[in-house]
Structures are given as C-alpha cells and as structure tokens.
Structure 1
Amino acid sequence: MVNDRGKIKWTSLMLPEHVEMLQHMGREIGKAKPPIMDEQQLEELEQKVRDIEVGKTKVRMLYRKGQQVENAFGIVTGLMQSERYLLLDTKDSLYPIRIPFHHIIDISLH
C-alpha cells in the first residue's frame, strides 16, 4: 500500500481550472522584469564596464537572459563598445557568453 498523502490525496479534488492556474503561476515565478535603474546606477555600471581590463579582470555578473536572471563568474575576454556587448568566459561554457550591455543588472570586479 502506498503511503503518499501529498499529490495523490489532492489530485481528485482539483478542478481543471485550478490546475491550469497553478501551472501558469509556476511559469510566471521564474520570469524577471528588468529593474528600473536611475541615472546614477547606470553611470556606476558604465564606469565598472570601463574599468574592466580585457583578458585580466575577473567579474561576477548578474544579467538578464530572456525572462530569467542569470548569475555568472568569469573573465571578460572581449569588450565591444561599438556593438555594446561583452564576452564573458566561464568555466561552465565551452564558448564565451555574449552579454549585451543593456541586459547587465550588476557587475562586481574581483
């Protein structure tokens, strides 16, 4: 005899509308809205990007990837000012990650 009193107990009591609503809520939890930054915060981020030495600077970065917020740690291998993105080489990825400047939420230099 199965001793599970979790999902099995409540499954028969849930209406299809409730199941659909719970699934929708689960999808919305992981989504992130872009933070609203004031002029001073934007200037601080731009200054941090200018302080990065390509190939030498280790950074911890918080950035938006689609609707998710990602955290990455690595070395900046490229800084393309004209195209407004940087390349971040991490241990987890085979190729450097291309991160547009407007997706960056926070950078801390290490």
Structure 2
Amino acid sequence: MVNYEEEWSRLDLSKVQDRGSKKWVSMMLPEHVKMLRDFNVTIKKVPCPNLNEFDYEAIQEQIELAMKRNVEIKIIRWRNGELLYNQGAIQWIDLTKRTIELEDPFSSFELLLDEIVDATIME
C-alpha cells in the first residue's frame, strides 16, 4: 500500500518552473493581446483632480514662499492621466508663458502652471 503523505513529503516543488503567462499567449490572437495592453494602459490613468479656489491659493502661497526663501519644493503635476512628481528650487516664474523653471541637482526644466495640482515646501 502506498503512503501518500510520504510521497508528498519527498516531492520538492521548488524545482518546478512554471512558464507563467507564456503558456496562454500562444492561444491568444494578436487583437486580444493588443486589447489587453490597451486596457492595462487605461486602468493606470488617474482622473484630473478638481481643484477649487482655495486649492489654487494654497499652491500659489507655497510657490511664492519657496521662491522667497530659496528652498526646495515638491510639485505634483497632472498630465494625460498621469501624476508627475518634480522636486527642486524655483529659479524664476514666467507669467506670460505660464511656466516655472525648476532646478534640481542634475538639471533644470520648465513646468506649466496649468498642470500643477499640488505644491509642498521641503524643509
């Protein structure tokens, strides 16, 4: 008579290598694969936050204070369903182009004022 408990105890499952999703891809049509990739992109998108007048005032105060003190600021921007994070010191603000030049230790870049959804001083 076979003792199954002894058989299971001798079985080493750590050496079993599963092929993961590869085994299912061969049964899928290219249209299905494309639809799944598009779906993964769409579910990662974040809706645009609705900011009111008080939120805009708080962002403006943080930006002004960071520029006066010449300290680093963390800015969160929303673009095309994605939240982008930037941190650095504000060099200048151009109200005609509606941009901010932010300088971090590696480079400097321009941010659009209309994309900013949050600003926090880093002290």
Distance in 2, Cα, partners of 1:103 & 1:6:
40
Cα shift at 1:24:
0.5
Q: TM-score by structure 1 length?
A: 0.77
Cα shift at 1:101:
1.0
Larger fraction in helix: 2
Other structure's SS at 1:75 match: strand
Other structure's SS at 1:52 match: helix
Partner of 2:5: none
Distance in 1, Cα, partners of 2:79 & 2:104:
15
Cα shift at 1:67:
4.5
Question: How many positions carry a matched residue from both structures?
Answer: 107
Partner of 2:29: 15
Larger Cα-atom Rg: 2
Percent identity, please: 23
Partner of 1:33: 47
Cα 1:77/1:66, change in 2 over 3 Å:
farther
Aligned partners of 1:55 and 1:75 also within 8 Å: no
Aligned partners of 1:55 and 1:77 also within 8 Å: no
Aligned partners of 1:54 and 1:77 also within 8 Å: no
Aligned partners of 2:79 and 2:115 also within 8 Å: yes
Partner of 1:105: 117
1:59 and 2:73 matched = yes
Distance in 2, Cα, partners of 1:85 & 1:54:
17
1:41-82 Cα offsets, whole Å, 9 max, x none, are: 122112222223268121111113454321112111112234
Note the residue ranges of structure 1 that are not aligned, 5 or more in a row.
none
Distance in 1, Cα, partners of 2:22 & 2:93:
53
